[in-house]
Structure 1
Amino acid sequence: MLSHLAYQPIMPCGNKYLQQKWDQISYDFHRNKIKSMQPTLDTKAPKKYDHLSPQKPKSKDMYTRKIERENILLLERLSHIMLTSGRVDNRNSYERKSLNVEKRQRELRQINMENQSMLTRLSQSKPHYDVKKLHGDWLQARKLVDAIARYPSRSQQGEEKAGKKMTTRKKTTNTSTGTTNVGKIASATTTTSTAQDDSEEESSNEKTEESNSP
């Protein structure tokens, strides 16, 4: 009985009890109208007609026989096409043509000329940096660093070892050349001494012959 006291109407009213009663009546009337309403569009499935329904094969054997017959016909058509040239001649001697062939050829020639000129410039250009001079400067800097360093670097030790090896090789070559020169001088002196002995023997023989002759 006191439920109308907690009712909150949408619009302001003077009596909540009557307003709740009227709102309930209108709500029930609305619900009844929704239940009894009819659709304006017919959304039912269409009526089926026997003469328009697709004919299904009566049995599975008939369906398989139909598929086999269609496959045989298709195979015969393919074999006929393979054996003969077919009804349609799809081969032709059409050559591709273009409207900008000359333009593309001109661009290609221009690119080739530019590449050739670039190649000639690169081949004729001289280096900006002198490699020998840079290497000499680096060696000079290494020498200065080794001169002021407390301990010699590995490169300096390697250079000293290489220098020692070169000096020993030079000494060995000088000694070998000296021995060969000494041998040559000794052989020359022996040949000159033998020649002098032969000349002396000939002169002595001539003197003895002159003394023995009357």
Structure 2
Amino acid sequence: MDRGRKALPTLNKHTDTRYYQKCQEIHRQKLHTIKSSIDNSEPHRPLHLRKNLKKEQLKEERYAEIERENRILLEKMSHIMQSETLDNKNQSLAYSHSLNKEQRKRELQKITAENQAILRRIQMREPTYDHLQWAEEAKQNDKYALNIREYPEDRERRLGSSELRTSSAYSSGGAGGYY
């Protein structure tokens, strides 16, 4: 078992601690000032490899071409601004109405007539569901419900319908089953 530096006997613990701290501080300083034995610097590259002269030449040519095009456009714009403007409106091409207005109107009238015919057919059709029969069936279902109730009808009238629902749910054990 290794107990480290405390395994050695000392005469004075205080001086031993100070000495140990001083040695650690010297060690840290040496670690900060140490120089590496491996050269990690970038290797020397020749000048012709560092500067890509062909790329710079192409870039300069492109900039010169852009400048030339900009100058030509500027000259054209200044010429347009100095010359008198022309009235480009051609009165013969200005139509006052649509060319197929009549055809669209006939199409709209045809669609309206078809819609009216469909509406008449729907209104003349007899319904497939009989609302009177539904009312009779609802009354019959109410009679069946009265016959199978837990409480008679007069108790339902005295209590509110919400009170009856909550009391019947608690009295029958929630969902009507036994525990």
Range of TM-score over shorter length? 0.3 to 0.5
- Select the structure of larger CA radius of gyration: 1
TM norm structure 1: 0.31
